[in-house]
């Protein structure tokens, strides 16, 4: 009998099915050891040696593992194939007193991959272990030293983690940009023109004047342009036709999966990672039992194995045809620095398990995320999409000069990879397909001018997707930490969500201001990125204690100064326009571990409190306000504000009317500027695409 120890109980069931008799597969349930909860756990006088202890909730697990070891020939440590997994295996080897621990790893949980790994056991990688130790020690030092300062100088219950602080500053900095933004006026001017022979319409935008770019910034200027263009002669100046190709997107990494999962599916980054982990470890498929569907989901590599590429090309040829199959496999590289290439990109394990085949056998969100991963991988191995492009420049000759107008677009002529995975950025621009055939020197008829007043927009607040992208671009944290950072910031009430936008709370802004003054390096994205790079070098053999020793003394000095010099920060209450119905004072916003609420400022004399009601739309059943609510378990739902008279509720933001086909609930979806109502009834799925004016 041989014992295989993995991290997840779900994974253990799947692997046990593959190995069968002769093997016993058990799970550690993640980390079995960590630094102590109630003390620093780092010997500052002994080269920053960490003092690990067995987690209280893992003592029974250790007993079961030790009992299972009796009578076994071999013990294989099969924790996750990353730094953290290596550290867990190291702790298991120490606690279980394994003399010659055998470490195995696999990128996918399949019979082939698991059995292949068993044929190639290796020793524990001490450099990987030290890389994980250094991160754990550094995070403990920062969190354990800064958090008490924040609790004493601002309010209790706060934390100041190494990565979360830098991420919070990014959010606060963006909010400062939004607040300071001053919109600038500009005008778009369009000429509605007609081709003389057939009367086909052309909508061209003002672009230049006497060959130089023109910008209209006021109504006075717009009126002057309109006046000058009266009686103008409209002649096609140039017609440029071409062909453009769009290359497929690389298969998913951890970061891009979180971004697309958030943007396309409307799922938060933490939820994306939770679902992806389950798809990797194995989920229960009706009729098949526990089955893993995707490869390891913590990776920043876009590499794909040659076997997976060959299987994909065969699949594409049989399903889509020869023209969709490249003559040579597509290869990708990433521009990011410090990429770890130990694992493949995220892909489906078996292409015969198509999303359509599993749709009725797994949960809705598991299906949606699996389909996203599956389609992206297939598309990554397909041929380019091909477009015909057309760009036309039209001159409007006047007594005062020549105004130039432009119109163009592209028309999809070969779908290529978009047959499997389309992206709104690459969607066909209809303008090009509607243009009539034009030739240089051709005269056009004038129909009318249209002027539109516009204002520049402030920078967009971060969403889960854009924050993940920004953290990756700035080198803050690593892919496996992005989702947890977003969760912690919300949990600490440093941020709130407004629709999909992440906005800092007054508390979050206060924390950043305090950190900027006292711990400037910790919230500096460049410093944080530099530290990540240093930590990455440890797995290449660098001494981890030296990195900590260079960081800690000046950091400790800053901690002592913050304690001694800083006065307690007075948090200003956020005053509302809601009048307390007991004493007449204007109520203020307060926070608790259950969320934000309105309270009377005269507490404790007046103890009146009220829930904060967030209205997100109109009830499709009665027309009342739809209010964002939470269940006792903390799950968000949307219900009618006229309850109990109207008991309408939905787990998603509902459209203001029911489906015209089946009378079911419709949800609101948005991709870029395109907004739609989609029926949530799987058998219906009716979609209404909205115009700028509504339905």
CATH code assigned at 337:
1.10.290.10
Flag whether 566 is in a domain.
no
Flag whether 579 is in a domain.
yes
pLDDT digits (tens, 9 = 90+) for 265-293: 989 999 999 999 999 999 999 888 889 99
**pLDDT score recorded for residue 273:** 95
Q: Give me the residues paired with residue 5 across strands.
A: 26, 77
13 with 117, same domain: the answer is: yes
175, 458 Cβ separation under 8 angstroms: no
CATH number of the domain where residue 532 is located: 1.10.460.10
**pLDDT score recorded for residue 693:** 43
237 with 271, same domain: the answer is: no
Distance CA 515, CA 160 (A): 9
62 with 161, same domain: the answer is: no
258, 471 Cβ separation under 8 angstroms: no
The fraction of the chain above a pLDDT of 90, given in percent, is: 74
**pLDDT score recorded for residue 594:** 58
Flag whether 549 is in a domain.
yes
Catalytic sites, residue numbers: 296
Which residue is associated with the tokens 């100064």? 561
65 with 103, same domain: the answer is: yes
Question: 455, 480, 509: which is the final residue of a domain?
Answer: 455
Which residue is associated with the tokens 């507490």? 603
pLDDT digits (tens, 9 = 90+) for 400-414: 999 999 999 888 999
**pLDDT score recorded for residue 277:** 94
Q: Give me the residues paired with residue 627 across strands.
A: 615, 639
Flag whether 130 is in a domain.
no
Flag whether 61 is in a domain.
yes
423 with 513, same domain: the answer is: no
Q: Which DSSP state fits 322?
A: G
545, 186 Cβ separation under 8 angstroms: no
304, 345 Cβ separation under 8 angstroms: yes
439 with 466, same domain: the answer is: no
CATH number of the domain where residue 200 is located: 2.70.20.10
Q: How far is CA 383 from CA 328, 415, 643, in A?
A: 10, 9, 54
Distance CA 155, CA 301 (A): 41
450 with 467, same domain: the answer is: no
Distance CA 262, CA 674 (A): 16
Residue ranges of the chain whose pLDDT lies below 70: 197-199, 335-342, 423-434, 591-595, 632-634, 671-673, 691-695
70, 96 Cβ separation under 8 angstroms: no
Flag whether 565 is in a domain.
no
Residue 649: Cβ-neighbour burial (10 angstroms; 0-12, 13-18, 19+): middle
51, 43 Cβ separation under 8 angstroms: yes
Residue 228's contacts (CB-CB under 8 Å, 6 or more residues apart) are 398, 399, 400, 401, 403
Flag whether 587 is in a domain.
yes
Range of the domain at 664: 614-689
Flag whether 532 is in a domain.
yes
485 with 540, same domain: the answer is: yes
Q: Model-level pTM?
A: 0.80
**pLDDT score recorded for residue 434:** 65
**pLDDT score recorded for residue 694:** 47
What's the angle, vertex CA 332, arms to CA 330 and CA 335, rounded to 5? 160
389 with 538, same domain: the answer is: no
391 with 373, same domain: the answer is: no
Question: 420, 455, 490: which is the final residue of a domain?
Answer: 455
**pLDDT score recorded for residue 608:** 93
CATH number of the domain where residue 34 is located: 3.40.50.140
Question: 435, 455, 475: which is the final residue of a domain?
Answer: 455
Distance CA 179, CA 173 (A): 10
424 with 486, same domain: the answer is: no
Q: Name the percent of the chain in helix, strand, coil, to the closest 5.
A: 35, 25, 40
Question: Helices then strands (H, E): number in the chain?
Answer: 19, 30
Q: Give me the residues paired with residue 595 across strands.
A: 592
320 with 295, same domain: the answer is: yes
Q: Which DSSP state fits 129?
A: H
Domain count, the chain: 6
Q: How far is CA 212 from CA 27, 208, 235, 393, 402, in A?
A: 69, 5, 18, 13, 10
């Amino acid at each position: 009998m041989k014992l295989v120890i993995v991290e997840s109980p779900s994974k253990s069931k799947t692997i046990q099915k593959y190995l069968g008799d002769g093997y016993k597969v058990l799970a550690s349930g993640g980390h079995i050891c960590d630094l102590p909860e109630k003390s620093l756990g780092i010997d500052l006088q002994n080269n920053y040696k960490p003092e690990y202890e067995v987690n209280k909730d893992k003592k029974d697990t250790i007993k079961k593992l030790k009992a299972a070891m009796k009578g076994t020939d071999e013990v294989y440590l099969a924790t996750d194939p990353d730094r953290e997994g290596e550290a867990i295996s190291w702790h298991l080897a120490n606690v279980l007193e394994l003399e010659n621990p055998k470490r195995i790893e696999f990128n996918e949980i399949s019979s082939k991959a698991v059995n292949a790994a068993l044929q190639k056991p290796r020793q524990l990688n001490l450099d990987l272990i030290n890389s994980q130790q250094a991160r754990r020690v550094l995070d403990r030092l920062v969190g354990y030293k800064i958090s008490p300062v924040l609790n004493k100088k601002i309010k209790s219950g706060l934390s100041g983690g190494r990565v979360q602080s830098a991420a919070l500053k990014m959010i606060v900095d963006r909010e400062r940009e939004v607040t300071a933004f001053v919109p600038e006026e500009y005008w778009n001017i369009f000429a509605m023109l007609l081709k003389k022979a057939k009367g086909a319409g052309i909508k061209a935008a003002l672009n230049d004047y006497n060959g130089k770019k023109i910008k209209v910034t006021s109504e006075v200027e717009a009126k002057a342009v309109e006046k000058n263009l009266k009686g103008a002669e409209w002649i096609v100046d140039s017609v440029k036709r071409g062909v453009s190709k769009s290359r497929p997107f690389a298969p998913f990494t951890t970061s891009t999966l979180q971004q697309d999962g958030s943007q396309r599916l409307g799922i938060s980054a933490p939820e994306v990672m939770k679902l992806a982990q389950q798809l990797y470890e194995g989920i229960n498929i009706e009729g098949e039992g526990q089955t893993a569907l995707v490869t390891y989901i913590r990776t920043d590599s876009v590499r794909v194995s040659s076997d997976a590429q060959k299987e994909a090309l065969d699949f594409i040829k049989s399903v889509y045809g020869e023209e969709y199959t490249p003559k040579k496999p597509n290869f990708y590289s990433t521009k990011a620095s410090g990429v770890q290439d130990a694992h493949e990109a995220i892909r489906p394990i078996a292409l015969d398990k198509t999303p359509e085949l599993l749709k009725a056998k797994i949960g809705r969100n598991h299906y949606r995320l699996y389909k996203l991963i599956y389609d992206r991988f297939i598309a990554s191995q397909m041929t380019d999409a091909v477009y015909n492009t057309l760009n036309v420049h039209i001159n409007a000759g006047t007594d005062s000069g020549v105004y130039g107008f432009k119109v163009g677009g592209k028309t999809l002529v070969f779908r290529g990879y978009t047959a499997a995975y389309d992206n709104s950025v690459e969607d066909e621009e209809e303008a090009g397909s509607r243009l009539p055939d034009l030739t240089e020197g051709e005269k056009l008829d004038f129909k009318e001018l249209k002027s539109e007043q516009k204002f520049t927009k402030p920078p967009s607040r971060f969403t889960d997707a854009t924050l993940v992208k920004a953290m990756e671009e700035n080198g803050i944290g690593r892919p496996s930490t992005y989702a947890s950072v977003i969760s912690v910031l919300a949990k600490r009430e440093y941020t709130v969500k407004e629709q999909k936008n992440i906005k800092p709370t007054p508390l979050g802004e206060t924390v950043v201001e305090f950190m900027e003054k006292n711990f400037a390096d910790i919230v500096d994205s460049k410093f944080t990125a530099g530290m990540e790079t240093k930590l990455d070098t440890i797995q290449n053999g660098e001494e981890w204690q030296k990195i900590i020793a260079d960081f800690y003394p000046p950091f400790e000095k800053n901690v002592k100064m913050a304690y001694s010099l800083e006065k307690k920060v007075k948090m200003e209450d956020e005053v509302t326009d809601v009048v307390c119905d007991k004493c007449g004072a204007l109520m203020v916003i307060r926070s608790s571990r259950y969320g934000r609420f309105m309270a009377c400022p005269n507490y404790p004399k007046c103890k009146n409190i009220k829930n904060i009601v967030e209205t997100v739309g109109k009830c499709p059943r009665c027309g009342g306000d739809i209010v964002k609510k939470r269940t006792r378990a903390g799950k968000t739902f949307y219900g009618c504000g006229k309850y109990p008279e109207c008991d309408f509720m939905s787990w998603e933001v509902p459209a203001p009317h029911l489906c015209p086909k089946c009378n079911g609930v419709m949800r609101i979806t948005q991709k870029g500027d395109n907004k739609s109502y989609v029926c949530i009834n799987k058998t219906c799925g009716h979609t209404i695409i909205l115009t700028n004016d509504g339905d």
